[in-house]
Amino acid sequence: MRMILGKVGRLDRSVSSQLFTFGRHVPRFIWKIFEYSGDGIVWIAVSIVVLILGLNSSLDDGVQTLKLSSELGKDAVIVGVNLLLGLVIDLCEVGLLKWIAKRPRPVYNSISNDMNVIVSVDAFSFPSGHSSRVSFLAQFAILLGHKYLAHGLIITWALTVAISRCMMGRHYLTDVIAGLALGYVTLLALTYGSMDREVFKVNAEAMIRISSFEMSRSL
């Protein structure tokens, strides 16, 4: 078993190094665009903005409550709540696994010296947080929608962001593969294992009730 793992590790490092070498032929800013498109801070901000836009704060008989302003508002709240919950779950999963594995990033990652501040303090490589995040985002979007043409574009974006992690030298290939698989686990956790989008409504309604209760207590 140890011999097999050793061979897999060497193959992983070899393929990852080749991907990085190939990636250097592509202008760096292109890879950076994909990197930022899968950034956790960006998507957490997006989820909060969507949630705020969907909620309408009002006064009802002197008691401040949260109500949904329209059908569009309801959809926005459902998306915002579940997107934020999923991203938090993803962050916890990735953080725990990185703490357990403590796998250093590829040595050639330091060549570029262009990691943002948040990522730069994260010295561990397994699993790839970007890969797990875009995997969750893609599957979340597909579960929400019915437009199959958009599905292809979403999957293409997610896979491109994932493989760009090797092209940029940020991760080994196995980090990326593990991250993509972890995104599926995140969606399973968010839907309590059902993979049913109706659960998204349940999550949103629960968060609204909790928020309304906390707001009424504070008055």
Report the first-to-last Cα separation within the chain, whole angstroms.
Answer: 62
- 25 carries an active-site annotation: no
Residue type, 121: V
Q: Are 162 and 135 in contact (CB under 8 A)?
A: yes
Backbone angles phi, psi at 86, to 5 degrees: -65, -40
- 171 carries an active-site annotation: yes
Residue showing tokens 């437009």: 147
Residue type, 45: A
Q: Cβ atoms within 10 A of the Cβ of 199, count? A: 16
**CA–CA distance, 179 with 133 (Å, rounded to integer):** 8
Task: Please tell me what DSSP assigns to residue 170.
Answer: S
Nearest Cα neighbor of 191 from 92, 78, 98 is 78
Task: Please tell me what DSSP assigns to residue 66.
Answer: E
Q: Active site residue: 25, 130, 146, 151, which one?
A: 130
User: How distant, in Å, are the alpha carbons of 18, 36, 142, 170, 196 from that of 51?
Assistant: 42, 21, 19, 32, 21
Backbone angles phi, psi at 69, to 5 degrees: -75, -25
The catalytic residues are 130, 171
